[in-house]
A and B are shown apart, each in its own frame.
Chain A
Amino acid sequence: MKILLHSLPRRSWLTARRPLSHLTMATDPTIMSVTSSAQGMNMFQAVNDAMKIALETDPTAIVFGEDVAFGGVFRCSQGLQERFGKDRVFNTPISENGIAGFAIGYAATGGTAIGEIQFADYIYPAMDQLVNEMAKFRYRSGNQWQAGGATLRMPAGAVGHGGHYHSQSPEAYLAHTAGLTVVMPSSPKAAKGLLLASIRSKDPVIFLEPKALYRSAVESVPLGDYEVELGKARILREGSDVTLVGWGAQIQRLQKACDLAKEMDGIDCELIDLQTIVPWDAEAVEQSVLKTGKLVVSHEAPITCGFGAEVVAELQERCFWALEAPIKRVCGFDTPFPLVFEKYYLPDETRNLEAIREVVRSSR
């Protein structure tokens, strides 16, 4: 929807439109239309809006984590403590296992806990709580107890200068745990809807926010209360030649690769954003691959045992006879995430373009 600049209220510098030359935002037709107006927001504003709505609509909801009280290191919780009080929006000591365990206990006693881990790279102390407790809370009790009200959100993914410990994407470690739901949005409008759906989900959710998109991705985000269904992938671009699957900030690079493939080689790509990593929408990808016969999976995380491996394994089992070429994965290398080599490490649009060309070239 086109918004004429002069008809908008005066913007503050925080919400000012920034050049979007390196991003093409696709408006998602599947997000349900809302009656209230929309506003241009970047991802941290969308997340902030979602948490504000969650705190307004659910009196038991609390937001906590390291440094959330003043607004958060990425401003995602800006203004929440002033509005909702210190009881509901508060800092915790630096202890990720404490944050995760606290969220579980709060949720198990009937509340909605929105915990923040400052960077996804620091999720590992909480792995015992996530894998052994949160994921199994409902199952082991025979559905007597459940921790569905717990949501842990954290910034993840490359940011340009993050190095080893500010760039990781741990979705593969979490996806291997039965009982967890892992969600990774790729745009502000989806982020708000997915976060509200995650908070209200009856199962505990890990919400990975691509930190590179916090400020740079701006989209017209509806102001009202809406949700994007978990467990459903969205098809951002329809095509007939190759299926591309990705999630998070990688979608932006895949969009560019699709554009390049169209311009330079006339290849028509179908782009699928998984949105929910687990449980993931294998049916949507299967339908697409049955149509195109070729698949490229791309993610920032290292290739070995990354979630792309799961996508490939499942799709080859379902669509083997429909495949016209081997499935390719375009991922990070099996090294720690490097600082100065980030431009080589990340699977950028050029490497994806090469993969697209190769699957088309080698197809029957």
Chain B
Amino acid sequence: MRIPILSIHPIKVLRTPRHFSSKSASRASKNRSLSSARPLPQEEVESDWGTIHDYKQRAMIPYHPARLAPSIQERTSAAQEMTLSYAGTVPIPITSNLQLIQPEDDTPRGIWPVYRLMVSTHRRRPQNALRTLEQDGEIRDPAYDGINQPVLRPDVTTPDDVEDNLDQFRAFLAHAHPYQSDEIQKSGLLRASKYPYVDTNSNNTLLRAHRQIVRLRQMDDILLNAQRQGRISFYLTCRGEEAILMGAASALEVGDPVFAQYREQGVLMWRGFTLEQFTNQCFSNILDLGKGRQMPIHYGSRALNYHTVSSPLGTQLPHAVGAAYRLKLAGEPNVAVCFFGDGSTSTPDFHSALNFAATLNAPAIFLCRNNGYAISTPTSDQFAGDGVISRAPGYGMAGVRVDGNDIFAVHAAVREAKQYALSKNAPVLIEAMTYRQGHHSTSDDSSQYRSVDEVLTTTENHDPLNRLEAFLKKHDLLSEEDVEVMRKQERNDVVKAMEQAERRPPVPMRELFTDVYHDMPLHLQRQQAQLEAHVKKYPEKYA
């Protein structure tokens, strides 16, 4: 089935959609936009995607769900507390507004809000400890998922067959959830890119994100197997975290330097690192940009503004602060973004970097992939406070916690964080909640510290690719056959790239001594001469 290329317009309610009830139609005809539906706080920042709300005003609204305010927005903002429980972590209550909590505001009572995307549904979810969320990619309203007090929304009827294209979907969102849907409506993922993407030959950003996730999964699977077969020495997958990587990368530009940990190959892929380049680095052949000096998965690309990965945890965070400061002094409209896991938040560099960024006003985005485990250490052994985001007010910086398996949420958070960082020259901490589906690396066997059942259940319920595919299928942007064809194509591409990379010659020996310094000093020249003479004498030993 040919995937239609959609033209994206800003949302306009031109006529009453026929499947809405008369009540909602009348409300729709009043053209309730976000700005007219709620009281405007005094301090607001206008941005491309609506207004960034001042939390001080919003904090006036009681946070406790028992004291719900009558209007829809206020009820949504003080929504029922749901508990999201990833295996191995502390249950985290969830509300449904994306709010960048600014440092000068009062600390919110209770746990930090989590941004989720919800759309109303008349179905009630059963209550269980591990909540089943968005199995079909549907976006649901929290009011319908209340544990104790399900609040019915008689004014909005969920259509049984949802809109069949994104424009109508946006119209639906505008009516039903003007507050939350604003984020999705204005999402850069739903906008067309200016030029067609080279690898998908279409302008559709969301479909490109999906295709890239499929490609990333295939690459991870195949290269993992290559390590098991002994063809490469090491590999590390990012299975389960693709929504964070693609969501964040699609909200950034190439001008934003990325300082990654090691599990962010998706960001590099989004920017344009080819399968050939990935496999060349893993096989350390002559075309490896890093000249074969580091283990596999330690990618780096100057052209794509992605700093070369290093193994020590957390060391990239102060680098991001320095880079952000440089960008600020140079007046560039770019932020420095760094990625790290939950384990890295215990390192001294994390503390130093956040403290520096906040005191020096560096526009850096710190994005934590809280995937539940640091090799075998669960987050309950890693920190005793409320996750990572609770440290943001301690350092005096803004922050938000998002559902890391929801590509729209991560995209919105990073986009808003970038706007915040640039307009205020201030850092932002984003904690993206997700789950590490694979082992830590090929040197790890996670069945030794977590049950296979936990992995399978969490994968089934929270897999970001499943969610995105369900969403796309629901809105007829994709069919199962398309996905199957895509998987086969990407698999073939990866296998071809890998076989080519394997056959290429290795990096020449002289590159052992170059690049230690800008100009090779005398002592290295002498050592190089010694080694060359030695290898020349015993060529068979070093073949």
Cβ contact of A106, chosen from B298, B315, B322, B349, cutoff 8 A: B322
Pair B349/A97 contact, Cβ less than 8 Å: yes
A107 vs B325: C-alpha distance in the bound complex, in angstroms? 11
Which of chain A's residues 52-108 have a Cβ closer than 8 Å to chain B? 60, 62, 87-88, 90, 92-93, 95, 97-98, 100-108
Pair A129/B516 contact, Cβ less than 8 Å: no
Pair B308/A144 contact, Cβ less than 8 Å: yes
Any B CB within 8 A of the CB of A178 = yes
Q: A95-B356, A97-B352, A148-B518 are in contact. Are A141 and B318 (CB under 8 A)?
A: no
Cβ contact of A93, chosen from B291, B356, B518, B521, cutoff 8 A: B356
Cβ contact of B517, chosen from A92, A107, A279, cutoff 8 A: A279
**In the complex, what residues of B have CB within 8 A of residue A101's CB?**
315, 317-319, 321-322, 349, 352-353
**In the complex, what residues of A have CB within 8 A of residue B310's CB?**
132-133, 136, 140
**In the complex, what residues of B have CB within 8 A of residue A108's CB?**
307, 319, 322-323
Any A CB within 8 A of the CB of B363 = no
A111 vs B257: C-alpha distance in the bound complex, in angstroms? 14
Pair A279/B522 contact, Cβ less than 8 Å: yes
CB distance from A233 to the nearest CB of B (A): 12
Any B CB within 8 A of the CB of A38 = no
Pair A105/B300 contact, Cβ less than 8 Å: no
A73 vs B322: C-alpha distance in the bound complex, in angstroms? 24
**In the complex, what residues of B have CB within 8 A of residue A105's CB?**
259, 318-326, 336
**In the complex, what residues of A have CB within 8 A of residue B517's CB?**
138, 179, 181, 202-203, 279
Any B CB within 8 A of the CB of A143 = yes
Any B CB within 8 A of the CB of A128 = yes
Q: A92-B356, A101-B315, A279-B523 are in contact. Are A138 and B325 (CB under 8 A)?
A: no
Q: A95-B352, A101-B315, A141-B302 are in contact. Are A109 and B326 (CB under 8 A)?
A: yes
Q: A97-B349, A102-B322, A141-B302 are in contact. Are A128 and B315 (CB under 8 A)?
A: yes
Q: A95-B355, A102-B356, A279-B517 are in contact. Are A113 and B300 (CB under 8 A)?
A: no
Any A CB within 8 A of the CB of B289 = yes
**In the complex, what residues of B have CB within 8 A of residue A141's CB?**
289-290, 300, 302, 307-308
Which of chain B's residues 314-354 have a Cβ closer than 8 Å to chain A? 315, 317-327, 329-330, 336, 348-349, 351-353
Interface size, B (range) = 35 or more
Which of chain B's residues 267-310 have a Cβ closer than 8 Å to chain A? 288-291, 293-294, 298, 300-302, 307-308, 310
**In the complex, what residues of A have CB within 8 A of residue B336's CB?**
105, 109
Q: A101-B315, A132-B312, A132-B315 are in contact. Are A107 and B291 (CB under 8 A)?
A: no
A97 vs B356: C-alpha distance in the bound complex, in angstroms? 11
**In the complex, what residues of B have CB within 8 A of residue A181's CB?**
517
Total A-B Cβ pairs within 8 A: 160
- Interface digits, B493-517 against A, CB 8 Å rule (1 contact, 0 not)? 0000000000000000000001111
CB distance from B393 to the nearest CB of A (A): 17
Any B CB within 8 A of the CB of A42 = no
Pair A93/B322 contact, Cβ less than 8 Å: no
A47 vs B312: C-alpha distance in the bound complex, in angstroms? 34
Any A CB within 8 A of the CB of B359 = yes
Pair A231/B521 contact, Cβ less than 8 Å: yes
- Interface digits, B352-377 against A, CB 8 Å rule (1 contact, 0 not)? 11011001100000000000000000
A191 vs B327: C-alpha distance in the bound complex, in angstroms? 31
**In the complex, what residues of A have CB within 8 A of residue B515's CB?**
138-139, 142-143
Can you name the residue of chain B whose Cβ is closest to the Cβ of A203? B517
- Interface digits, B212-224 against A, CB 8 Å rule (1 contact, 0 not)? 0000000000000
Q: Which residues of B contact A (CB under 8 A)?
A: 257, 259, 288-291, 293-294, 298, 300-302, 307-308, 310, 312, 315, 317-327, 329-330, 336, 348-349, 351-353, 355-356, 359-360, 514-519, 521-524
Q: Which residues of A contact B (CB under 8 A)?
A: 60, 62, 87-88, 90, 92-93, 95, 97-98, 100-111, 113, 125, 128-129, 132-133, 136-146, 148, 178-179, 181, 202-203, 231, 279, 282-283
Q: Can you give 24 contacting A-B residue pairs, CB < 8 Å?
A: A95-B351, A97-B348, A98-B355, A98-B356, A101-B315, A102-B318, A105-B318, A105-B324, A105-B325, A106-B325, A110-B330, A111-B330, A140-B294, A140-B310, A141-B300, A142-B288, A142-B300, A143-B515, A144-B302, A145-B300, A145-B308, A179-B516, A179-B517, A203-B518
18 additional contacts (CB under 8 A) given A92-B356, A95-B356, A141-B302:
A60-B326, A60-B329, A92-B360, A98-B349, A102-B319, A105-B319, A105-B324, A105-B326, A129-B318, A132-B312, A138-B515, A138-B518, A140-B310, A141-B300, A179-B516, A202-B519, A279-B522, A279-B523
